[in-house]
A and B are shown apart, each in its own frame.
Chain A
Amino acid sequence: MVPELGHLALILALLIALVQAVFPLAGSLSGNRPWMAMARPLAYGQLTMIAIAFAALTQAFLTSDFSVLYVAENSNSLLPTIYKFSAVWGGHEGSLLLWVLFMACWGAAVAALSRNLPLTVMSRVISVQGMITVGFLLFMLLTSNPFERLFPVPQEGRDLNPLLQDPGLAIHPPMLYMGYVGFSVAFAFALAALIGGRLDAAWARWSRPWTTVAWIFLTIGIMLGSWWSYYELGWGGWWFWDPVENASLMPWLVGTALIHSLAVTEKRGAFKSWTVLLAICAFSLSLLGTFLVRSGVLTSVHAFATDPARGMFILLFLCVVVGGSLALYAWRAPEVSEGGRFDLLSRETSLLANNLLFVAFTVLVLFGTLAPLIYEAFDWGKISVGFPWFNKMFLALAPFMAILLGVGPAVRWKHDEPMRLLRTLWWALALSILVLVVSYLPAFSSGHLWVPVGLALAAWLVLAHVAVVLERLKNKGGLARMGPALLADLRGGGRSFYGMVIAHLGVAVFVVGVTMVSNFQHEEDVRLSPNASYELAGYRFEFLGAEAVPGPNYMAQRGHFKVYRGDRQIANLFPEKRAYLGGGMPMTEAAIDPGLFRDVYVSMGEAVGDKGDWAVRLYYKPFVRWIWLGAILMALGGVVTVSDPRYRMARAPARRPATSSAGGTSAATA
């Protein structure tokens, strides 16, 4: 009964979405106010219906109602309750429902928080979101209905994929989806602006906080995915350039470019068409990501068991969205462009270069991801692109990005003098070169060329931002009153600036992490007998043996390792090899002794011989936490930026447009 209610709610949601896609937009074009006024209630109604459907599916999972096919395939009565809940989005149908739920949340949020948005703009934004929702709801109802029944009703469900029975993965997909779907808001704002032919600083200011929030979610989502695969898959890496990882990285890269280009559009009125194009691309790449994951066209560790009809539908949908929005762009963009002028040495130029680098990298990732498809289409054979290729591409572009990232914030808008720039940054440059030279010494780099490069770039990032912050404070009342100036700045309109600084420092932390772990990590597969030990990178791993330990829905072989540094014992590690009762699927649960400067990591392979020997994998991972710490700082920077008073949209329209920064003279505005 309840599943049918859920199904009905989905159908009603589709009807609401159809009305939402047509009437507010038509109203905004013909000046029909009642039609436009429908937008808000429709957005709330949409959220209500999808929330009901989601609740119905959740109820089916919590009560283990195996008469629902999707529940029978992805749950089991032995599953701990928390994973019964997260199993709702553990498979294809449910994760689509989650996607649509978030879509409705974003729509309702736009409706609720945009009181000071002109009614025409708001109704267009809601309409565009309605169109996207129509597409996804049709997709669900036609090809992947989560409420489909199963007769005869099985006694027991097939169990949730054990890899997904983990807190990290319970929250990774929701975060990622919030990000993916969040870009639909930026997309809807861009299309609304194109439809209205009004693309101005106000538009950029409205769409900036939404874009940044979506970007924050995506950053956290990708970070969680990387962290999860590190500790859960037992392979010790943090990024594999798998098609599905790339699918999440591409919208992130374009989204990052979009955030920066929106800044130029807001502050200087330039890059308008370009910004709109990026907004379209960011969301299109999110859709492409969905297509790649769901259609199974690529070999990926993530691929869902697939169905060609689904792939076909998403491909069609993708064509409609991308084709339609690009056609609209081609038709309207010439009318809306017309930007502020700027010189060769200016903030605008550096942000343009930033955008080109990000887009270039996106294109490379896209090419590498799709190359197997291209080869197959031309009958050149079945290939896979190895991750060394992606690493090479990343290493070729990253240094330029990092150098630019230090210069950009120090350059003034519109026009700057090389000598002034040098006066601000000379000591940062000198110290970074010093870092380069010192870390080039064999004692530090052990002959790895990328070590000095990476560390010098990280130093450059940190020091250049210190220089920029100092200069801003100097302009705000001298270094003597630095403390009060800083506080006033943080209370006032300076938060987006400090948010930028924090996010950029996150990049520096990330660079240190990547450099250290790539060059100094150790990994060894060994066979260990009970009470034998093995030394790796100065750590001695003593194996005490393995024993059988029952879990709630699995049987585990739990190993016991003592890790010594010199004579001192620093950790007891208990890695497990689990066999899940539901599907009989084996799973490796690695044991990690985490640390800010190094992780020590053991994962169990398999039992060898009959004397209790095990094949195990030992890792030493220096600075690996810095990679995720950097991503967290980037997201935190985004949070601080969004809290800037000038983005408070829910308040009455009393606030004037960004006052402190409109002049373009302050070098230190974000």
Chain B
Amino acid sequence: MKARHKRMILVGVAILGVGAAASMALSALKSNIAYFFSPSQVLAGESPKDAVFRVGGLVVDHSLKRQEDGLTVRFNVTDNAGTVPVSYTGILPDLFGEGQGVVAKGRIGGDGVFYADEVLAKHDESYMPPEVADTLKTAQAENLVESTGKSLAPAAQTVAQ
């Protein structure tokens, strides 16, 4: 075998490998991504009915209710233009709180309740998920936002820009 042939074989194998990996990666990606929707988009029916997606916004004050079993909680998430009830079974992250930003991942039920199997936690209390900040910004453009307290200071800053 000449050196040139060898190189051709190596290059060929490499291209095949890259092609296979790329197609595999892309096809797998389709079933593993979760789109983000704001509560008002969910109410408008823009979110998928039978797929996992994420919804984010602020937890409405005094909306957190614990169910009988002690592990399931219900709370409302709002972008100040629309509100979606969320149900979650399990332990909430430390930084979860009423009036705070939150992103939940799950499916919407036939009853209009969003059943989350993941509620996103943050390391930093002054951090706002970019999607949530965007959502609030959009809502503010429609003159619907008002700041709800000190915990929201960073969000308010983002909104103010």
Over the window 43-57 of chain A, the binary record of Cβ atoms lying under 8 Å from chain B Cβ atoms (1 yes, 0 no) is 000000000000000
Bound form: Cα–Cα A603–B94 in Å: 12
Asked whether A168 is an interface residue with its Cβ less than 8 Å from the other chain, the reply is no
Interface flags for A4-15 (1: CB within 8 Å of B; 0: not) read 000000000000
Chain A, residue nearest B131 (CB): A382
CB within 8 Å for A344 and B9 given contacts A296-B130, A305-B124, A527-B71:
yes
Contacting residue for A382 out of B1, B21, B35, CB 8 A: B35
* A297 contacts chain B at the CB level, 8 A cutoff: yes
| List of B residues within 8 angstroms of A586 by Cβ | 94-95
Query: Contacts A299-B131, A371-B29; is A386 near B34 (CB within 8 Å)?
Result: yes
Closest to A583 in B: B125
Given known A-B contacts A161-B124, A527-B71, A605-B91, A360 and B32 have beta carbons under 8 A apart: no
Residue A482 interfacial (CB < 8 Å): no
Is A328 close to B, CB under 8 A?
no
B122:A301 contact, CB within 8 angstroms: yes
Contact status of A384 and B123, CB under 8 A, knowing A344-B1, A356-B14, A360-B17: no
Bound-state Cα–Cα, A352 to B6, Å: 13
Q: Which of A157-210 contact B (CB under 8 A)?
A: 161, 163
Contact with B along A331-362 (1 / 0, CB 8 A): 00000000001011000010010001000100
A644 to chain B, nearest CB (A): 31
Chain B residue with Cβ nearest A361: B21
B126 CB → nearest A CB, Å: 5
B36 within 8 A of A: yes
Instruction: Judge whether A304 and B127 touch: CB under 8 Å.
Output: yes
A residues 585-640 near B (Cβ < 8 Å) are 585-588, 603, 605-606, 608-609, 613, 615-617
Q: Judge if A383 is at the interface, Cβ distance under 8 Å.
A: yes
Count of B interface residues, CB-CB < 8 Å = 44
> Hey, which chain A residues are within 8 Å of B36, CB to CB?
381-384
**A615 and B125 in contact, given A299-B130, A385-B33 (Cβ under 8 angstroms):** no
Chain B residues 98-139 with CB under 8 Å of chain A are: 103, 105, 120-127, 129-131, 134
Interface centre among B24, B32, B122, B131 (most CB of A within 10 A): B32
Docked-complex contact B125 and A299, CB < 8 angstroms: no
Taking the closest CB of chain A, its distance from the CB of B32, in whole angstroms, is 4
Q: Which residue of B lies closest to A375 (CB)?
A: B33
Taking a contact as CB atoms under 8 Å apart, the answer to whether B3 and A385 are in contact is: no
Residues in A with CB closer than 8 Å to B124 are 161, 303-305
* A residues in contact with B130, CB < 8 Å: 296-299
Contact: B17 with A341, CB < 8 Å? no
Interface digits, B66-80 against A, CB 8 Å rule (1 contact, 0 not)? 100111000000000
- B122 partner residues in chain A, CB cutoff 8 A: 301, 303
Residues of B within 8 A of A161 (CB): 123-125
B70 & A609 in contact (Cβ 8 Å cutoff): yes
Whether B127 contacts A389 by the Cβ 8 Å rule is no
* Chain B hits for A616, CB < 8 A: 91
B24 in complex: contacting residue of A341, A385, A396, CB < 8 Å: A396
Residue in A299, A368, A384, A608 whose CB lies within 8 Å of B66 = A608
List, in ascending order, chain B residues with CB within 8 A of A613's CB.
70
B90: Cβ under 8 A from any A Cβ: yes
Determine if A547 is an interface residue (Cβ-Cβ < 8 Å).
Answer: no
Verify if A538 is at the interface (C-beta below 8 Å from B): no
Considering the complex, give the chain A residue whose CB is closest to the CB of B34.
A384
Residues of B within 8 A of A656 (CB): none
In the complex the two chains form, what is the Cα distance from A367 to B10 in whole Å?
Answer: 24
Instruction: Give the nearest-CB partner of B36 in chain A.
Output: A382
Number of chain A interface residues as a range? 35 or more
**Which residues of A have CB within 8 Å of B120?**
299, 301
Q: A301-B122, A384-B33, A385-B32 are in contact. Are A615 and B70 (CB under 8 A)?
A: yes
Q: Is the CB of A383 within 8 A of B33?
A: yes
CB contact list, A249-269 vs B, under 8 A: none
**Any chain A CB within 8 A of the CB of B12?**
no
A163 contacts across to B, CB distance below 8 A: 123
C-alpha gap A579/B129 in the complex (Å): 23
* Least Cβ–Cβ distance between B56 and chain A, in angstroms: 9
Q: State which of A360, A382, A392, A585 has its C-beta within 8 Å of the C-beta of B125.
A: A585
Bound complex: CA A304 to CA B126 (Å): 8
Residues of A within 8 A of B154 (CB): 305
Are A371 and B123 in touch, CB under 8 angstroms?
no
Within 8 A of B (CB), among A289-339: 296-299, 301-306
Q: Cβ of A298: which chain B residues have Cβ within 8 Å of it?
A: 130
Q: Which of B10, B92, B123, B126 has the most chain A CB atoms closer than 10 A to its own CB?
A: B123
Q: How far is the CB of B91 from chain A (nearest CB, A)?
A: 3
Chain A hits for B17, CB < 8 A: 356, 360
- Across-interface contacts of B91 in A (CB, < 8 A): 525, 603, 605-606, 615-617
Task: Write out the residue numbers on chain B whose beta carbons fall within 8 Å of the beta carbon of A401.
Answer: none
Report the minimum CB–CB distance from A568 to chain B (whole Å). 29
A394 CB to closest chain B CB (Å) equals 12
**In the assembled complex, which residues on chain B have CB atoms less than 8 Å from the CB atom of A585?**
94-95, 125
**Contact B32 A305, beta carbon cutoff 8 Å:** no
Rounded to whole angstroms, the CA-CA distance of A368 and B120 in the bound complex is 19
Residues A389 and B35 in contact, CB atoms below 8 Å apart: no
Contact of A367 among B25, B54, B71, B95 (CB under 8 A): B25
Distance between B1 CB and nearest chain A CB, rounded to angstroms: 7
- CB-defined interface of B12-30 with A at 8 Å, one 1/0 digit per residue? 0010011001001100110
Q: A495–B85 Cα gap in the complex (Å)?
A: 62
Collect the chain A residues with CB atoms within 8 Å of residue B105's CB: 384
Is B89 part of the contact surface with A, judged by Cβ < 8 Å?
A: yes
In this complex, what residue of B is CB-closest to A385?
Answer: B33
B89 near A525: Cβ-Cβ < 8 Å? yes
> Which residues 134-170 of A sit at the B interface, judged by CB distance below 8 A?
161, 163
Q: Which residues of A contact B29 (CB under 8 A)?
A: 368, 371, 385, 389
- 10 more contacts with CB within 8 A, not counting A344-B1, A615-B91, are A234-B94, A298-B130, A303-B124, A305-B127, A306-B127, A356-B14, A367-B25, A392-B28, A588-B94, A613-B70
The 15 sampled A-B contact pairs (Cβ below 8 Å) are A161-B124, A161-B125, A297-B130, A305-B124, A306-B127, A349-B10, A364-B25, A381-B36, A382-B36, A389-B29, A393-B28, A525-B91, A606-B92, A613-B70, A615-B91
Q: Pick the 9 closest A-B CB pairs, nearest first.
A: A605-B91, A389-B32, A382-B36, A527-B70, A608-B70, A383-B33, A525-B90, A386-B32, A305-B126
Interface residue ranges, A against B (CB under 8 Å): 161, 163, 233-235, 296-299, 301-306, 341, 343-344, 349, 352, 356, 360, 364, 367-368, 371, 375, 381-386, 388-389, 392-393, 396-397, 525-527, 583, 585-588, 603, 605-606, 608-609, 613, 615-617
